[in-house]
Amino acid sequence: MAIQQKLSLMIPGPTPVPEKVLQALGKHPIGHRTKDFQDLVESTTKNLQWLHQTQNDILTITGSGTAAMEAGIINTLSKGDKVLCGENGKFGQRWVQVAKEFGLDVIKIEAKWGSPLNPDDFKTILEKDTEKEIKAVILTHSETSTGVINDLKKISTHIRNHEKALSIIDCVTSLGACSVPVDEWELDIVASGSQKGYMIPPGLSFISMSDKAWQASEKSNLPKFYLNLKSYKKSLLNNSNPYTPAVNLVFALDESLKMMRDEGLENIFKRHNRHKLAISKAALTLKLKLFADENYLSPAITAIEIDDINAEDFRKTIKKEYDILLAGGQDHLKGKIFRVGHLGYVNDRDIISVVAAISNTLLNQNKISSKEAGEALKVASNYLKIN
Ligand SMILES: *Cc1c(COP(=O)(O)O)cnc(C)c1O
C-alpha cells in the first residue's frame, strides 16, 4: 500500500528529480539582474551547449516544451510558407496543428502510429522541390506517444541536401537520452523541456538556434512578443533574460547539468539504452507486445500493448499496489497500451522494480506462470549488465 512521498515516476515527464536538485530549488530566489544570476546563466548556457553538442545559441524560456517548439516556428517562418511536417503520433500531430494555426501551408508526411517516419518520403519531396518553396521541415525525434524514435540522422541529411529548408526538431524526449549531435547533423532549431531528460521539474524550455535559423528570423512576419527570440538573444549577450525567468528552476538546472557532466554523455546514453533493452526484452518475455517497431525503440519510453486486460486498469493497479506511476495510451490507444518512462534520473533499481511490478500484476491475474515472471526478471537483469 501507498505511503506518502514514495511515488516512483515512470512517465515521460515530469521525471524524477535528484535530491541535490530539489535542494537547489528550495533556495531563496535571487535577483535576476544580478551578477550572481548572470554567472549562473553563463554556466548553464555553456553546459547546455555541451549537452546539445553544439556551438549554436541556446536560449532558455520560462514555459513548457511546447513554448520552445512554437517559438521555433513563429520566429523563422511567415504566413503562407510551405512546410513539411512529419506525423507519426500525438506530438507530430501537435506541430501540424501549431503550423496550421499560424497560417502555414502544411504538407504532411505520415506513418502509422508505432512505425517510424520513412526518410525516403522526405528525400522524395525535398528533391522534387527545385523551386525551393519548402521553408522548413518540422518533426519529432522521439515520439513519446508511441515510443518510436525517428531516424533523424538520415532525415537531416535530406534536409541539408535541400539547402534552403530549415530543420525544426522536437527533441524533447531524445535530448539527454541519446546522442543528438546538433552541429554534426546541422540541426537548425532544436526544442526541449526541463521536465524530461534534464531531471528538473517542469517550467523551462530550451531552444537551440543555428546561424541559418537567425538569418531566417530576419524575414519572419508571424506575430510574437513573449516568444520573440531576438529579445532572448540580445539578453543572452550579457547572460541575462528579457523577462523574469523561473530563477529557482535555473538553480536546479545548473545542478542537474553539472550532474550530467559528471556522468558523461556516453555513460548517460548507455544507461538509457540498457534500460530500454531491459524493459522491452522483459516485456517480450512476458508475452506482451511492443507497440513500437522493435528497430526504432525510443531510449526514453517503452509503449507496451496488452491484450485482454484494459491497460488503464492495469496501470492503475500498479500505481495502487506499488506506487509506480506509468503513463497510459493517448487518443485511440487509451486502454490499449501503457507506457513506461525511463528518462532522466532513472537507475537499474527502478527498472527491476517496474519489471517486477508488471510481472507480479500479470501473475496475480493468472496471465502468466511464476516461471515466466522469474524469466522476465532474469532477462531484465542480464540486459542491465551490458555496457
Ligand atoms: C513532453 C513532450 C513535449 C512537450 O510538452 P509540454 O507539455 O509542452 O512540455 C513535446 N514533445 C514531446 C515528444 C514530448 O514528449
Whether residue 228 sits in one domain with residue 239: yes
**C-alpha closest to that of 358 among 308, 321, 307:** 321
Whether residue 215 sits in one domain with residue 167: yes
What is the Å distance from ligand 1's center to 290 Cα? 22
Instruction: Among 262, 291, 308, give the residue marking a domain's end.
Output: 262
Whether residue 323 sits in one domain with residue 201: no
Whether residue 377 sits in one domain with residue 292: yes
What is the per-residue pLDDT for 6? Answer: 86
**C-alpha closest to that of 152 among 216, 213, 78, 88:** 88
Q: Is the CA virtual torsion 88, 92, 97, 99 positive or negative?
A: negative
Residue 300 lies in a domain: yes
CATH number of the domain encompassing residue 298: 3.90.1150.10
Whether residue 242 sits in one domain with residue 325: no
Which is the closest atom of ligand 1 to the Cα of 143? 13
What is the Å distance from ligand 1's center to 170 Cα? 8
For the stretch 50-69, pLDDT in tens is 999 999 999 999 999 999 99
CB of 12 closer than 6 angstroms to any ligand 1 atom: yes
Whether residue 299 sits in one domain with residue 234: no
Residue 310 lies in a domain: yes
Instruction: Among 215, 237, 262, give the residue marking a domain's end.
Output: 262
CB of 144 closer than 6 angstroms to any ligand 1 atom: yes
CA distance linking residue 104 with residue 97, whole number of Å: 10
**C-alpha closest to that of 301 among 326, 320, 332, 322:** 326
Tell me which residue range forms the domain holding 322.
8-14+265-384
Whether residue 275 sits in one domain with residue 258: no
Instruction: Among 244, 262, 280, give the residue marking a domain's end.
Output: 262
Whether residue 292 sits in one domain with residue 230: no
Residue 143 lies in a domain: yes
- Which residue's C-alpha comes closest to atom 3 of ligand 1? 65
Whether residue 151 sits in one domain with residue 295: no
Residue holding cell 532513472? Answer: 346
Residue 165 lies in a domain: yes
Residue 212 lies in a domain: yes
Residue 1 lies in a domain: no
Determine contact, residues 207/74, Cβ cutoff 8 Å: no
What is the per-residue pLDDT for 30? Answer: 98
Whether residue 236 sits in one domain with residue 272: no
What is the Å distance from ligand 1's center to 384 Cα? 28
Question: What total of structural domains would you count in the chain?
Answer: 2
Residue 2 lies in a domain: no
Residue 41 lies in a domain: yes
Whether residue 269 sits in one domain with residue 256: no
CB of 192 closer than 6 angstroms to any ligand 1 atom: no
Q: Which residues of the chain have pLDDT under 50?
A: none
For the stretch 328-371, pLDDT in tens is 999 999 999 999 999 999 999 999 999 999 999 999 999 999 99
By most ligand atoms within 8 Å of CB, the mutation choice from 152, 170, 189, 200 for ligand 1 is: 170
What pTM was estimated for this model as a whole?
Answer: 0.97
What is the Å distance from ligand 1's center to 72 Cα? 14
Whether residue 103 sits in one domain with residue 201: yes
- Which residue's C-alpha comes closest to atom 5 of ligand 1? 65
Determine contact, residues 218/196, Cβ cutoff 8 Å: no
CA distance linking residue 84 with residue 139, whole number of Å: 8
CATH number of the domain encompassing residue 159: 3.40.640.10
Backbone angles phi, psi at 345, to 5 degrees: -80, 75
What is the per-residue pLDDT for 3? Answer: 66
- First and final C-alpha spacing in the chain: 35
